[in-house]
Amino acid sequence: MKKQNLKIFRIVLLLGTLISLYFVPWPIVKAWLIPLPDNVQTQVNKATDYGFDGIIVYVDKANETPTLYAAGTKNRIGNVPADPKALFKIASVDKLYNAVAVSKLVYNGTLDLDNTISDYLPELQGRIAYANTISIRMLVQHRSGIPNYTDTFNYWSEPKTNDDDKLALILDKPANFKPDTAYAYCNTNYLLLSRIMERVLGYDPFIFIQNAILNPLNLNQTYASINAVHLNDVMSGYYVGYDVDLKSNQVGSMLATAEDLGKFIRALNDGSIFKNKKEQDIYTSIYKYEHTGLIPGYQTIAKYHEDIDTVVIQFTNTVDFEGYNWNLSEIMYNRIVKILKRT
């Protein structure tokens, strides 16, 4: 009887092992286990092995000339090689620009971090729960409790093209939590911040971003939306399983070259983007100094690595909200950083 039980145990153990092996994320394991190459370009060249059509990487290492790397394709049609100077939809990374704009407007007295949605947009009183409690600070820090419009059912199958339609998706909905009691990343927060900035400025807040942030830094390849650029200058974007080029879709994302974004991240982290320490302290009190972005067709990682005094920007133009796609982009990025740390 004991031998029979042992046999059954071994069979169950074997079945369990086989089942667990079936669920192992082998693409991720493989990407991690491959020996680290000697240089960044060799690593970048592996982008297609990771399932990406194309990749652009910008590296700004202290006391060295910044370098651009690219591999794969810019456009499947004609198999156009990836262009390191192509424009790219940076998705949620544009929150950094908006948070800097808020800080500058707070510094000059145009905005108050403790004023509420109702103070600036009284028409939303009663349409957004706790509108008279949710402050500018809470919006910037994703502590408002407002529902995220991109989380509404099947949003990305037919994304809204204007802010009114996006906002309408969450009006009159209950809050996810009481303001300032939790953190939840929410695109609606920054839609409202943009609307508030437009209300107090009297014009498009991107004009303020351009005048107060981009122009002083000579960032001439950063744009408000796809409508402001030539499509041929934009890297194509794809979703796994679909052949349609997503670059013409208007989803509300800013666009920039990897170089422009890298210069912005450098200026943000070394403080040169701010007028003085007081303005920088305002920013430090409300937001972070790095960001990632993900929309259909486009994913961005933009970070400064203090230990090696290096900015690394990575654009990849093939996206899948399911599976390991984002994980693989992070693995690619982390391997590039490891190479830079040992050189």
- Is the predicted pLDDT of residue 212 greater than 50, yes or no? yes
pLDDT category at 9 given cuts 50, 70, 90 is very low
220-272 pLDDT, tens digit each: 999 999 999 999 999 999 999 999 999 999 999 999 999 999 999 999 999 99
- pLDDT of amino acid 21: 39
44-74 pLDDT, tens digit each: 999 999 999 999 999 999 999 999 999 999 9
pLDDT category at 170 given cuts 50, 70, 90 is very high
- Is the predicted pLDDT of residue 334 greater than 90, yes or no? yes
- Is the predicted pLDDT of residue 13 greater than 60, yes or no? no
pTM above 0.95, yes or no: no
Alpha carbon distances (Å) from 244 to 62, 75, 198, 271? 40, 11, 34, 41
What mean pLDDT do residues 118-124 have? 98
- pLDDT of amino acid 20: 43
- pLDDT of amino acid 8: 54
Helices (H) and strands (E) in the chain, counts: 12, 11
* Crossing angle between the packed helical segments 258-270 and 94-107, to the nearest 10 degrees: 40
β-partners of residue 70 are 56
Identify the DSSP state of 82: P
